[in-house]
Structure 1
Protein backbone atom coordinates (compact mmCIF):
# COMPACT_ATOMS: atom_id res chain seq x y z
CA UNK A 1 0.00 0.00 0.00
CA UNK A 2 1.29 3.45 -0.86
CA UNK A 3 2.56 5.33 2.18
CA UNK A 4 0.81 8.56 1.14
CA UNK A 5 -2.24 9.29 -0.96
CA UNK A 6 -4.56 12.19 -1.66
CA UNK A 7 -8.29 11.65 -1.36
CA UNK A 8 -11.19 14.03 -1.86
CA UNK A 9 -13.56 14.35 1.09
CA UNK A 10 -16.58 16.58 0.58
CA UNK A 11 -14.68 18.74 -1.88
CA UNK A 12 -11.49 18.98 0.17
CA UNK A 13 -8.20 17.26 -0.61
CA UNK A 14 -6.96 15.30 2.42
CA UNK A 15 -3.60 13.56 2.47
CA UNK A 16 -3.68 10.12 4.08
CA UNK A 17 -0.54 8.31 5.16
CA UNK A 18 0.59 4.90 6.42
CA UNK A 19 -2.90 3.45 6.25
CA UNK A 20 -1.65 -0.06 6.97
CA UNK A 21 0.06 0.95 10.23
CA UNK A 22 -1.36 -1.09 13.11
CA UNK A 23 -2.53 1.22 15.90
CA UNK A 24 -4.16 -1.42 18.13
CA UNK A 25 -1.71 -4.35 18.01
CA UNK A 26 -3.81 -6.79 20.06
CA UNK A 27 -6.61 -6.51 17.50
CA UNK A 28 -4.56 -5.78 14.38
CA UNK A 29 -6.67 -2.62 14.01
CA UNK A 30 -5.03 -0.28 11.50
CA UNK A 31 -5.05 3.43 10.84
CA UNK A 32 -7.22 2.75 7.78
CA UNK A 33 -9.79 1.16 10.10
CA UNK A 34 -9.60 4.13 12.49
CA UNK A 35 -10.30 6.52 9.60
CA UNK A 36 -13.08 4.26 8.31
CA UNK A 37 -14.73 4.20 11.74
CA UNK A 38 -14.60 7.98 12.15
CA UNK A 39 -15.93 8.47 8.62
CA UNK A 40 -18.86 6.13 9.21
CA UNK A 41 -19.72 7.51 12.66
CA UNK A 42 -19.35 11.12 11.50
CA UNK A 43 -23.08 11.87 10.97
CA UNK A 44 -23.66 11.29 14.69
CA UNK A 45 -20.29 12.49 15.98
CA UNK A 46 -19.89 15.79 14.13
CA UNK A 47 -22.88 17.58 15.72
CA UNK A 48 -21.31 16.91 19.14
CA UNK A 49 -17.95 18.35 18.00
CA UNK A 50 -19.07 21.42 16.07
CA UNK A 51 -18.13 24.69 17.69
CA UNK A 52 -16.13 23.05 20.47
CA UNK A 53 -12.34 23.45 20.75
CA UNK A 54 -10.83 20.01 20.42
CA UNK A 55 -8.19 18.34 22.57
CA UNK A 56 -6.67 15.39 20.76
CA UNK A 57 -4.74 12.50 22.28
CA UNK A 58 -2.40 11.27 19.57
CA UNK A 59 -0.80 7.84 19.34
CA UNK A 60 1.48 8.05 16.28
CA UNK A 61 2.90 4.57 16.90
CA UNK A 62 -0.23 2.95 18.26
CA UNK A 63 -1.73 2.47 21.70
CA UNK A 64 1.35 0.67 23.04
CA UNK A 65 3.68 3.53 22.10
CA UNK A 66 4.26 7.06 23.39
CA UNK A 67 1.31 9.43 23.19
CA UNK A 68 0.70 13.11 23.74
CA UNK A 69 -2.12 15.56 24.38
CA UNK A 70 -2.46 18.22 21.73
CA UNK A 71 -4.64 21.32 22.00
CA UNK A 72 -2.89 23.58 19.53
CA UNK A 73 -3.19 23.22 15.76
CA UNK A 74 -0.08 21.35 14.57
CA UNK A 75 2.31 22.73 11.95
CA UNK A 76 1.33 21.81 8.43
CA UNK A 77 -2.41 21.69 9.00
CA UNK A 78 -4.48 22.34 5.87
CA UNK A 79 -5.50 25.97 5.49
CA UNK A 80 -9.19 25.06 5.47
CA UNK A 81 -9.11 23.62 8.99
CA UNK A 82 -11.16 25.82 11.35
CA UNK A 83 -9.17 27.14 14.31
CA UNK A 84 -10.04 29.45 17.18
CA UNK A 85 -7.49 31.44 19.20
CA UNK A 86 -8.35 30.95 22.87
CA UNK A 87 -6.60 31.24 26.25
CA UNK A 88 -4.40 28.35 27.28
CA UNK A 89 -6.07 26.41 30.11
CA UNK A 90 -4.85 27.65 33.50
CA UNK A 91 -2.65 30.37 32.02
CA UNK A 92 -2.29 33.45 34.22
CA UNK A 93 -5.25 35.73 33.56
CA UNK A 94 -5.64 34.20 30.10
CA UNK A 95 -2.45 35.87 28.85
CA UNK A 96 -1.25 32.87 26.87
CA UNK A 97 -3.27 31.87 23.85
CA UNK A 98 -3.11 29.05 21.33
CA UNK A 99 -4.95 28.06 18.18
CA UNK A 100 -7.42 25.26 18.90
CA UNK A 101 -8.73 23.03 16.12
CA UNK A 102 -12.52 22.95 15.82
CA UNK A 103 -13.90 19.95 13.94
CA UNK A 104 -16.90 21.23 12.03
CA UNK A 105 -16.89 18.94 9.02
CA UNK A 106 -15.94 15.53 7.67
CA UNK A 107 -12.68 16.58 5.93
CA UNK A 108 -11.35 17.95 9.24
CA UNK A 109 -12.41 14.79 11.08
CA UNK A 110 -10.62 12.62 8.51
CA UNK A 111 -7.51 14.79 8.75
CA UNK A 112 -7.58 14.57 12.57
CA UNK A 113 -7.92 10.78 12.38
CA UNK A 114 -5.05 10.52 9.90
CA UNK A 115 -2.63 12.18 12.34
CA UNK A 116 -3.46 9.35 14.78
CA UNK A 117 -5.73 11.39 17.04
CA UNK A 118 -7.41 8.33 18.47
CA UNK A 119 -9.17 10.15 21.33
CA UNK A 120 -11.24 13.31 20.88
CA UNK A 121 -12.06 15.40 23.96
CA UNK A 122 -14.21 18.55 24.18
CA UNK A 123 -15.32 21.03 26.84
CA UNK A 124 -18.94 21.49 27.89
CA UNK A 125 -19.19 24.80 25.98
CA UNK A 126 -18.98 26.04 22.44
CA UNK A 127 -16.67 28.87 21.43
CA UNK A 128 -17.98 32.21 22.68
CA UNK A 129 -20.81 30.72 24.76
CA UNK A 130 -21.59 29.52 28.26
CA UNK A 131 -21.82 25.76 28.93
CA UNK A 132 -24.71 23.99 27.23
CA UNK A 133 -23.90 20.68 28.90
CA UNK A 134 -23.59 19.43 32.46
CA UNK A 135 -21.43 16.30 32.55
CA UNK A 136 -20.48 14.02 35.44
CA UNK A 137 -17.89 11.29 35.09
CA UNK A 138 -18.51 8.10 37.07
CA UNK A 139 -15.10 6.62 37.83
CA UNK A 140 -14.98 3.26 39.65
CA UNK A 141 -12.30 2.42 42.19
CA UNK A 142 -11.52 -1.29 42.09
CA UNK A 143 -13.07 -3.67 42.93
CA UNK A 144 -15.99 -1.45 41.88
CA UNK A 145 -16.41 -1.50 38.08
CA UNK A 146 -18.84 -0.49 35.36
CA UNK A 147 -21.74 -2.35 36.97
CA UNK A 148 -21.44 -0.22 40.11
CA UNK A 149 -21.22 2.89 37.93
CA UNK A 150 -24.52 1.93 36.32
CA UNK A 151 -26.18 1.69 39.75
CA UNK A 152 -24.88 5.14 40.68
CA UNK A 153 -26.00 6.46 37.29
CA UNK A 154 -29.59 5.50 38.06
CA UNK A 155 -29.40 7.32 41.40
CA UNK A 156 -27.94 10.40 39.71
CA UNK A 157 -30.59 10.29 36.98
CA UNK A 158 -33.40 10.25 39.53
CA UNK A 159 -31.84 13.01 41.63
CA UNK A 160 -31.35 15.30 38.64
CA UNK A 161 -34.87 14.58 37.42
CA UNK A 162 -36.16 16.02 40.70
CA UNK A 163 -34.72 19.36 39.53
CA UNK A 164 -36.15 18.95 36.04
CA UNK A 165 -32.81 17.98 34.49
CA UNK A 166 -32.72 15.03 32.11
CA UNK A 167 -29.50 13.10 31.65
CA UNK A 168 -28.26 10.68 29.01
CA UNK A 169 -25.75 7.90 29.68
CA UNK A 170 -22.73 6.79 27.71
CA UNK A 171 -19.83 4.50 28.41
CA UNK A 172 -16.43 6.10 28.77
CA UNK A 173 -14.80 3.44 26.59
CA UNK A 174 -12.43 2.70 29.49
CA UNK A 175 -13.52 1.81 33.05
CA UNK A 176 -16.57 3.87 33.74
CA UNK A 177 -19.22 6.06 32.16
CA UNK A 178 -20.50 9.61 31.87
CA UNK A 179 -23.89 11.23 32.29
CA UNK A 180 -24.56 14.16 29.97
CA UNK A 181 -27.32 16.70 30.57
CA UNK A 182 -28.41 19.48 28.22
CA UNK A 183 -28.66 22.80 30.06
CA UNK A 184 -29.79 26.26 29.05
CA UNK A 185 -26.45 27.78 28.06
CA UNK A 186 -27.29 30.88 30.09
CA UNK A 187 -25.21 30.12 33.20
CA UNK A 188 -21.44 30.13 33.56
CA UNK A 189 -19.24 27.13 34.31
CA UNK A 190 -18.89 28.09 37.97
CA UNK A 191 -22.64 27.81 38.50
CA UNK A 192 -22.91 24.51 36.60
CA UNK A 193 -19.91 23.01 38.40
CA UNK A 194 -21.16 24.20 41.80
CA UNK A 195 -24.53 22.55 41.23
CA UNK A 196 -22.94 19.29 40.08
CA UNK A 197 -20.74 19.28 43.18
CA UNK A 198 -23.70 19.79 45.52
CA UNK A 199 -25.60 16.88 43.96
CA UNK A 200 -22.52 14.62 44.04
CA UNK A 201 -21.91 15.40 47.71
CA UNK A 202 -25.56 14.78 48.51
CA UNK A 203 -25.44 11.32 46.93
CA UNK A 204 -22.11 10.56 48.65
CA UNK A 205 -23.72 11.33 52.02
CA UNK A 206 -26.70 9.13 51.15
CA UNK A 207 -24.55 6.16 50.05
CA UNK A 208 -21.21 6.62 51.86
CA UNK A 209 -20.17 3.01 51.37
CA UNK A 210 -20.48 3.14 47.58
CA UNK A 211 -20.05 6.73 46.43
CA UNK A 212 -17.46 9.44 46.97
CA UNK A 213 -17.45 13.02 45.72
CA UNK A 214 -13.86 13.65 46.86
CA UNK A 215 -10.96 13.51 44.44
CA UNK A 216 -8.45 11.87 46.80
CA UNK A 217 -7.60 8.52 45.21
CA UNK A 218 -7.09 6.80 48.56
CA UNK A 219 -10.82 7.28 49.22
CA UNK A 220 -11.93 5.57 46.01
CA UNK A 221 -11.33 1.80 46.42
CA UNK A 222 -14.65 -0.02 46.21
CA UNK A 223 -16.53 3.22 45.50
CA UNK A 224 -17.69 5.18 42.48
CA UNK A 225 -16.23 8.67 42.31
CA UNK A 226 -18.75 11.18 40.95
CA UNK A 227 -16.41 13.61 39.21
CA UNK A 228 -18.36 16.84 39.19
CA UNK A 229 -15.23 18.81 38.23
CA UNK A 230 -15.73 17.91 34.55
CA UNK A 231 -17.77 21.12 34.44
CA UNK A 232 -14.78 23.34 35.15
CA UNK A 233 -14.42 25.69 32.18
CA UNK A 234 -11.01 24.26 31.26
CA UNK A 235 -11.87 20.57 31.69
CA UNK A 236 -12.66 18.31 28.74
CA UNK A 237 -14.54 15.03 28.47
CA UNK A 238 -14.20 12.32 25.86
CA UNK A 239 -16.65 13.07 23.08
CA UNK A 240 -19.54 10.72 22.27
CA UNK A 241 -18.42 8.06 19.76
CA UNK A 242 -14.70 8.83 20.26
CA UNK A 243 -12.34 5.89 20.17
CA UNK A 244 -10.31 5.12 23.29
CA UNK A 245 -6.73 3.96 23.54
CA UNK A 246 -7.28 0.51 25.04
CA UNK A 247 -5.46 -2.72 24.16
CA UNK A 248 -8.35 -3.47 21.78
CA UNK A 249 -10.40 -0.63 20.28
CA UNK A 250 -13.41 0.61 22.23
CA UNK A 251 -15.53 3.72 21.86
CA UNK A 252 -17.47 6.02 24.16
CA UNK A 253 -20.90 4.62 23.41
CA UNK A 254 -24.39 5.95 24.16
CA UNK A 255 -26.60 3.61 26.17
CA UNK A 256 -30.32 3.42 26.81
CA UNK A 257 -31.54 3.67 30.39
CA UNK A 258 -32.97 0.17 30.04
CA UNK A 259 -29.45 -1.09 29.31
CA UNK A 260 -28.01 0.83 32.25
CA UNK A 261 -30.63 -0.59 34.62
CA UNK A 262 -30.06 -4.12 33.28
CA UNK A 263 -26.30 -3.79 33.78
CA UNK A 264 -26.81 -2.39 37.28
CA UNK A 265 -28.91 -5.34 38.44
CA UNK A 266 -26.83 -8.00 36.69
CA UNK A 267 -29.33 -8.94 33.98
CA UNK A 268 -26.87 -7.81 31.30
CA UNK A 269 -23.09 -7.85 31.10
CA UNK A 270 -21.60 -4.49 32.04
CA UNK A 271 -18.92 -3.85 29.45
CA UNK A 272 -17.47 -1.34 27.04
CA UNK A 273 -18.38 -1.51 23.35
CA UNK A 274 -16.27 -1.96 20.22
CA UNK A 275 -16.35 0.40 17.22
CA UNK A 276 -18.25 -2.15 15.13
CA UNK A 277 -20.88 -2.52 17.85
CA UNK A 278 -21.26 1.25 18.06
CA UNK A 279 -21.81 1.48 14.29
CA UNK A 280 -24.35 -1.35 14.34
CA UNK A 281 -26.28 0.31 17.16
CA UNK A 282 -26.14 3.66 15.40
CA UNK A 283 -27.64 2.15 12.25
CA UNK A 284 -30.43 0.59 14.29
CA UNK A 285 -31.21 3.33 16.80
CA UNK A 286 -29.75 6.59 15.49
CA UNK A 287 -27.99 8.98 17.84
CA UNK A 288 -29.24 8.26 21.36
CA UNK A 289 -27.60 11.53 22.45
CA UNK A 290 -29.34 13.78 19.92
CA UNK A 291 -31.23 15.51 22.76
CA UNK A 292 -27.91 16.98 23.94
CA UNK A 293 -27.98 19.24 20.89
CA UNK A 294 -31.06 21.12 22.11
CA UNK A 295 -31.12 23.54 25.06
CA UNK A 296 -32.20 22.22 28.44
CA UNK A 297 -33.24 24.00 31.64
CA UNK A 298 -31.15 26.19 33.90
CA UNK A 299 -29.68 24.42 36.93
CA UNK A 300 -30.69 25.56 40.43
CA UNK A 301 -28.20 28.26 41.39
Structure 2
Protein backbone atom coordinates (compact mmCIF):
# COMPACT_ATOMS: atom_id res chain seq x y z
CA UNK A 1 0.00 0.00 0.00
CA UNK A 2 1.24 3.51 -0.76
CA UNK A 3 2.17 5.99 1.98
CA UNK A 4 -1.15 7.75 1.52
CA UNK A 5 -4.65 6.56 0.73
CA UNK A 6 -7.94 8.26 0.00
CA UNK A 7 -11.31 6.83 0.97
CA UNK A 8 -14.65 8.01 -0.40
CA UNK A 9 -17.18 7.01 2.24
CA UNK A 10 -20.60 8.28 3.31
CA UNK A 11 -20.36 11.24 0.97
CA UNK A 12 -17.07 12.54 2.34
CA UNK A 13 -13.40 12.16 1.47
CA UNK A 14 -11.06 10.81 4.14
CA UNK A 15 -7.37 11.27 3.39
CA UNK A 16 -5.17 8.85 5.30
CA UNK A 17 -1.43 9.21 5.82
CA UNK A 18 1.49 6.92 6.65
CA UNK A 19 -0.60 3.88 5.89
CA UNK A 20 2.50 1.72 5.44
CA UNK A 21 3.70 2.41 9.00
CA UNK A 22 3.92 -0.82 11.00
CA UNK A 23 1.80 -0.37 14.12
CA UNK A 24 1.86 -3.94 15.45
CA UNK A 25 5.59 -4.67 15.04
CA UNK A 26 5.48 -8.30 16.16
CA UNK A 27 2.78 -9.05 13.61
CA UNK A 28 3.73 -6.83 10.67
CA UNK A 29 0.31 -5.16 10.78
CA UNK A 30 0.31 -1.65 9.35
CA UNK A 31 -1.73 1.46 9.96
CA UNK A 32 -3.36 0.81 6.60
CA UNK A 33 -4.41 -2.64 7.79
CA UNK A 34 -6.03 -1.07 10.87
CA UNK A 35 -7.84 1.51 8.72
CA UNK A 36 -9.09 -1.20 6.36
CA UNK A 37 -10.22 -3.30 9.32
CA UNK A 38 -12.41 -0.54 10.71
CA UNK A 39 -13.79 0.27 7.27
CA UNK A 40 -14.63 -3.38 6.68
CA UNK A 41 -16.14 -4.01 10.14
CA UNK A 42 -18.19 -0.79 10.18
CA UNK A 43 -21.53 -2.53 9.44
CA UNK A 44 -21.30 -4.67 12.59
CA UNK A 45 -19.50 -2.14 14.80
CA UNK A 46 -21.56 0.99 14.15
CA UNK A 47 -24.83 -0.23 15.72
CA UNK A 48 -23.21 -0.08 19.16
CA UNK A 49 -20.86 2.86 18.59
CA UNK A 50 -23.41 5.10 16.89
CA UNK A 51 -24.66 8.12 18.89
CA UNK A 52 -22.32 7.40 21.82
CA UNK A 53 -19.52 9.54 23.19
CA UNK A 54 -16.28 7.95 21.99
CA UNK A 55 -12.87 7.82 23.63
CA UNK A 56 -9.87 6.37 21.86
CA UNK A 57 -6.55 4.76 22.69
CA UNK A 58 -4.06 6.34 20.31
CA UNK A 59 -0.71 4.90 19.28
CA UNK A 60 0.56 7.54 16.89
CA UNK A 61 3.82 5.66 16.25
CA UNK A 62 2.33 2.21 16.74
CA UNK A 63 2.80 -0.14 19.68
CA UNK A 64 6.54 0.45 19.57
CA UNK A 65 5.87 3.94 20.91
CA UNK A 66 3.78 5.29 23.79
CA UNK A 67 0.01 5.14 23.71
CA UNK A 68 -2.49 7.41 25.43
CA UNK A 69 -6.20 7.66 26.16
CA UNK A 70 -8.02 10.59 24.55
CA UNK A 71 -11.55 11.83 25.22
CA UNK A 72 -11.61 15.30 23.71
CA UNK A 73 -12.56 15.95 20.11
CA UNK A 74 -9.62 17.81 18.61
CA UNK A 75 -9.96 21.22 16.95
CA UNK A 76 -8.69 19.89 13.64
CA UNK A 77 -11.39 17.23 13.36
CA UNK A 78 -13.49 17.79 10.21
CA UNK A 79 -16.89 19.45 10.41
CA UNK A 80 -18.68 16.31 9.23
CA UNK A 81 -17.54 14.38 12.32
CA UNK A 82 -20.18 14.74 15.04
CA UNK A 83 -19.38 16.05 18.49
CA UNK A 84 -21.24 16.22 21.80
CA UNK A 85 -20.46 18.09 25.02
CA UNK A 86 -21.15 15.85 28.00
CA UNK A 87 -20.23 15.44 31.64
CA UNK A 88 -21.40 16.49 35.08
CA UNK A 89 -18.59 18.18 37.00
CA UNK A 90 -16.26 18.46 34.02
CA UNK A 91 -17.66 19.07 30.55
CA UNK A 92 -15.90 17.39 27.65
CA UNK A 93 -16.58 17.71 23.93
CA UNK A 94 -16.46 14.11 22.72
CA UNK A 95 -16.34 12.84 19.15
CA UNK A 96 -19.41 10.84 18.12
CA UNK A 97 -18.78 8.36 15.32
CA UNK A 98 -21.86 7.45 13.31
CA UNK A 99 -20.35 6.39 9.98
CA UNK A 100 -17.69 4.21 8.41
CA UNK A 101 -15.94 7.44 7.42
CA UNK A 102 -15.75 8.36 11.10
CA UNK A 103 -14.19 5.03 12.02
CA UNK A 104 -11.64 5.39 9.22
CA UNK A 105 -10.85 8.95 10.30
CA UNK A 106 -10.24 7.86 13.89
CA UNK A 107 -8.00 5.02 12.74
CA UNK A 108 -6.01 7.52 10.70
CA UNK A 109 -5.55 9.54 13.90
CA UNK A 110 -3.74 6.54 15.37
CA UNK A 111 -6.72 5.09 17.22
CA UNK A 112 -6.31 1.39 17.90
CA UNK A 113 -8.99 0.81 20.55
CA UNK A 114 -12.34 2.59 20.77
CA UNK A 115 -14.29 2.94 24.02
CA UNK A 116 -17.91 3.98 24.45
CA UNK A 117 -20.36 5.21 27.07
CA UNK A 118 -23.25 2.99 28.14
CA UNK A 119 -25.69 5.80 27.25
CA UNK A 120 -26.32 7.61 23.99
CA UNK A 121 -25.85 11.33 23.54
CA UNK A 122 -29.54 12.24 23.32
CA UNK A 123 -30.16 10.63 26.75
CA UNK A 124 -26.74 10.92 28.41
CA UNK A 125 -28.06 10.31 31.94
CA UNK A 126 -29.98 7.16 31.02
CA UNK A 127 -27.86 4.15 30.02
CA UNK A 128 -29.31 1.65 27.58
CA UNK A 129 -27.03 -1.21 28.58
CA UNK A 130 -25.26 -2.58 31.63
CA UNK A 131 -21.85 -4.24 31.57
CA UNK A 132 -20.04 -6.78 33.73
CA UNK A 133 -16.29 -7.00 33.10
CA UNK A 134 -14.98 -10.39 34.24
CA UNK A 135 -11.35 -9.76 35.16
CA UNK A 136 -9.47 -12.88 36.31
CA UNK A 137 -6.08 -13.32 37.93
CA UNK A 138 -3.31 -14.24 35.52
CA UNK A 139 -4.01 -17.55 33.84
CA UNK A 140 -7.53 -17.71 35.24
CA UNK A 141 -9.68 -17.90 32.12
CA UNK A 142 -11.40 -21.07 33.33
CA UNK A 143 -12.73 -18.93 36.19
CA UNK A 144 -14.04 -16.50 33.59
CA UNK A 145 -15.91 -19.23 31.74
CA UNK A 146 -17.54 -20.46 34.95
CA UNK A 147 -18.44 -16.97 36.16
CA UNK A 148 -19.88 -15.94 32.80
CA UNK A 149 -22.30 -18.87 32.78
CA UNK A 150 -23.31 -18.22 36.39
CA UNK A 151 -23.90 -14.58 35.51
CA UNK A 152 -25.91 -15.57 32.43
CA UNK A 153 -28.20 -17.63 34.65
CA UNK A 154 -28.74 -14.64 36.95
CA UNK A 155 -29.49 -12.38 33.99
CA UNK A 156 -32.04 -14.94 32.78
CA UNK A 157 -33.72 -14.99 36.19
CA UNK A 158 -33.98 -11.20 36.07
CA UNK A 159 -35.35 -11.33 32.50
CA UNK A 160 -32.42 -9.32 31.17
CA UNK A 161 -31.20 -10.48 27.74
CA UNK A 162 -27.46 -11.06 28.04
CA UNK A 163 -24.78 -11.04 25.37
CA UNK A 164 -21.10 -11.83 25.70
CA UNK A 165 -17.86 -10.80 24.04
CA UNK A 166 -14.18 -11.34 24.61
CA UNK A 167 -12.33 -8.43 26.15
CA UNK A 168 -9.40 -8.84 23.79
CA UNK A 169 -7.26 -8.99 26.91
CA UNK A 170 -7.79 -11.44 29.81
CA UNK A 171 -11.52 -11.84 30.30
CA UNK A 172 -15.05 -11.53 28.99
CA UNK A 173 -17.63 -8.74 28.98
CA UNK A 174 -21.27 -9.58 29.61
CA UNK A 175 -23.62 -6.90 28.27
CA UNK A 176 -27.38 -6.57 28.74
CA UNK A 177 -29.31 -4.06 26.59
CA UNK A 178 -31.99 -2.15 28.50
CA UNK A 179 -34.87 0.15 27.63
CA UNK A 180 -32.95 3.25 28.75
CA UNK A 181 -35.69 4.42 31.12
CA UNK A 182 -33.69 4.15 34.35
CA UNK A 183 -31.03 6.72 35.30
CA UNK A 184 -27.43 5.79 35.99
CA UNK A 185 -28.01 5.68 39.75
CA UNK A 186 -30.57 2.89 39.37
CA UNK A 187 -28.52 0.96 36.81
CA UNK A 188 -25.44 1.13 39.03
CA UNK A 189 -27.52 0.10 42.03
CA UNK A 190 -28.81 -2.99 40.24
CA UNK A 191 -25.32 -4.01 39.11
CA UNK A 192 -23.93 -3.58 42.61
CA UNK A 193 -26.72 -5.70 44.10
CA UNK A 194 -26.22 -8.40 41.48
CA UNK A 195 -22.49 -8.44 42.17
CA UNK A 196 -23.10 -8.62 45.93
CA UNK A 197 -25.43 -11.59 45.48
CA UNK A 198 -22.92 -13.42 43.29
CA UNK A 199 -20.13 -12.80 45.78
CA UNK A 200 -22.31 -14.16 48.59
CA UNK A 201 -23.19 -17.26 46.57
CA UNK A 202 -19.65 -17.88 45.27
CA UNK A 203 -17.25 -16.35 47.83
CA UNK A 204 -14.29 -18.44 46.67
CA UNK A 205 -14.77 -17.59 43.01
CA UNK A 206 -15.60 -13.88 42.67
CA UNK A 207 -15.00 -10.62 44.48
CA UNK A 208 -15.64 -6.91 44.06
CA UNK A 209 -12.40 -5.95 45.82
CA UNK A 210 -10.77 -3.26 43.70
CA UNK A 211 -7.17 -3.82 44.80
CA UNK A 212 -5.48 -6.94 43.50
CA UNK A 213 -3.85 -7.65 46.86
CA UNK A 214 -7.31 -8.06 48.39
CA UNK A 215 -8.71 -10.44 45.76
CA UNK A 216 -6.82 -13.50 47.00
CA UNK A 217 -6.85 -15.31 43.67
CA UNK A 218 -10.51 -14.60 42.93
CA UNK A 219 -12.01 -13.12 39.79
CA UNK A 220 -12.74 -9.39 39.95
CA UNK A 221 -16.40 -8.78 39.14
CA UNK A 222 -16.00 -5.28 37.74
CA UNK A 223 -19.20 -3.24 37.55
CA UNK A 224 -17.40 0.12 37.55
CA UNK A 225 -17.95 0.46 33.79
CA UNK A 226 -21.58 1.32 34.61
CA UNK A 227 -20.86 4.67 36.27
CA UNK A 228 -21.90 7.90 34.59
CA UNK A 229 -19.19 8.85 32.10
CA UNK A 230 -17.33 5.55 32.43
CA UNK A 231 -16.49 3.63 29.27
CA UNK A 232 -15.83 0.11 28.08
CA UNK A 233 -14.22 -1.13 24.91
CA UNK A 234 -16.66 -1.31 22.01
CA UNK A 235 -17.63 -4.57 20.35
CA UNK A 236 -15.27 -5.34 17.45
CA UNK A 237 -12.72 -2.80 18.63
CA UNK A 238 -9.07 -3.73 18.31
CA UNK A 239 -6.90 -3.73 21.42
CA UNK A 240 -3.44 -2.24 21.71
CA UNK A 241 -1.67 -5.54 22.31
CA UNK A 242 0.53 -7.86 20.30
CA UNK A 243 -1.48 -9.96 17.89
CA UNK A 244 -3.99 -7.15 17.22
CA UNK A 245 -6.68 -8.89 19.29
CA UNK A 246 -10.33 -7.92 18.92
CA UNK A 247 -13.02 -7.52 21.57
CA UNK A 248 -15.14 -10.03 19.71
CA UNK A 249 -18.81 -10.88 20.26
CA UNK A 250 -19.28 -14.62 20.72
CA UNK A 251 -22.20 -17.00 21.13
CA UNK A 252 -22.95 -18.29 24.62
CA UNK A 253 -22.19 -21.80 23.38
CA UNK A 254 -18.62 -20.65 22.74
CA UNK A 255 -17.99 -19.61 26.34
CA UNK A 256 -17.06 -23.10 27.51
CA UNK A 257 -15.50 -24.11 24.20
CA UNK A 258 -11.80 -24.73 24.98
CA UNK A 259 -10.88 -23.04 21.69
CA UNK A 260 -12.29 -19.72 22.93
CA UNK A 261 -9.63 -17.44 24.41
CA UNK A 262 -10.04 -13.87 25.68
CA UNK A 263 -7.59 -12.60 23.06
CA UNK A 264 -8.11 -15.38 20.56
CA UNK A 265 -9.77 -13.39 17.78
CA UNK A 266 -7.66 -10.92 15.85
CA UNK A 267 -7.66 -8.41 13.03
CA UNK A 268 -6.64 -11.01 10.49
CA UNK A 269 -9.39 -13.53 11.18
CA UNK A 270 -12.48 -11.46 12.02
CA UNK A 271 -13.69 -11.19 8.42
CA UNK A 272 -13.56 -14.96 7.95
CA UNK A 273 -15.33 -15.46 11.27
CA UNK A 274 -18.15 -13.11 10.29
CA UNK A 275 -18.46 -14.68 6.85
CA UNK A 276 -18.70 -18.17 8.36
CA UNK A 277 -20.74 -17.54 11.51
CA UNK A 278 -22.37 -14.14 11.13
CA UNK A 279 -22.58 -11.48 13.83
CA UNK A 280 -23.43 -12.99 17.26
CA UNK A 281 -24.75 -9.58 18.33
CA UNK A 282 -27.00 -9.02 15.32
CA UNK A 283 -30.09 -9.26 17.54
CA UNK A 284 -28.69 -7.27 20.46
CA UNK A 285 -31.48 -4.70 20.42
CA UNK A 286 -34.35 -6.88 19.22
CA UNK A 287 -35.27 -7.36 22.88
CA UNK A 288 -34.31 -5.14 25.81
CA UNK A 289 -34.65 -5.50 29.56
CA UNK A 290 -35.98 -3.22 32.27
CA UNK A 291 -33.86 -2.07 35.22
CA UNK A 292 -36.99 -1.56 37.34
CA UNK A 293 -38.35 -5.03 36.57
CA UNK A 294 -34.94 -6.61 37.16
CA UNK A 295 -34.69 -4.83 40.53
CA UNK A 296 -38.05 -6.24 41.57
CA UNK A 297 -37.06 -9.73 40.40
CA UNK A 298 -33.79 -9.45 42.33
CA UNK A 299 -35.74 -8.51 45.47
CA UNK A 300 -37.75 -11.70 45.12
CA UNK A 301 -34.60 -13.79 44.64
CA UNK A 302 -33.00 -12.31 47.74
CA UNK A 303 -36.18 -12.79 49.80
CA UNK A 304 -36.20 -16.48 48.88
CA UNK A 305 -32.54 -16.95 49.76
Structure 2 residue 282 is the aligned partner of structure 1 residue 290: yes
Match of 2:273 in 1: 281
1:208 to 199, 203, 208: 203
SS in 2 for 1:289: coil
Q: How many angstroms does 1:65 deviate by?
A: 1.3
TM-score by length of 2: 0.90
SS in 1 for 2:283: helix
Match of 1:270 in 2: 261
Give every structure 1 segment of 4 or more consecutive aligned residues whose post-TM-superposition deviation is greater than 4 Å.
none
Match of 2:71 in 1: 71
Structure 2 residue 86 is the aligned partner of structure 1 residue 83: no
CA distance, structure 1, for counterparts of residue 253 and residue 188 of structure 2? 28
Match of 1:43 in 2: 43
Q: Spell out, residue by residue over 1:84-113, the C-alpha distance to the aligned partner (whole angstroms, 9 max, x if none).
A: 1222xxxxx53x423210010111111001
Structure 1 unaligned regions, length at least 5: 88-92
Tell me how many residue pairs correspond in the alignment: 290
Q: Is the 8 A contact 2:84 2:94 kept in 1?
A: yes
CA distance, structure 1, for counterparts of residue 22 and residue 199 of structure 2? 43
Q: How many angstroms does 1:261 deviate by?
A: 2.5
2:240 to 238, 245, 250: 245
Structure 2 residue 177 is the aligned partner of structure 1 residue 177: no
1:194-233 superposed matches below 5 A: 194-233=189-228
Match of 1:103 in 2: 97
CA distance, structure 1, for counterparts of residue 286 and residue 49 of structure 2? 14
Match of 2:106 in 1: 112
CA distance, structure 2, for counterparts of residue 269 and residue 51 of structure 1? 31
Structure 2 residue 118 is the aligned partner of structure 1 residue 127: no
Q: CA RMSD in A?
A: 1.6
TM-score by length of 1: 0.91
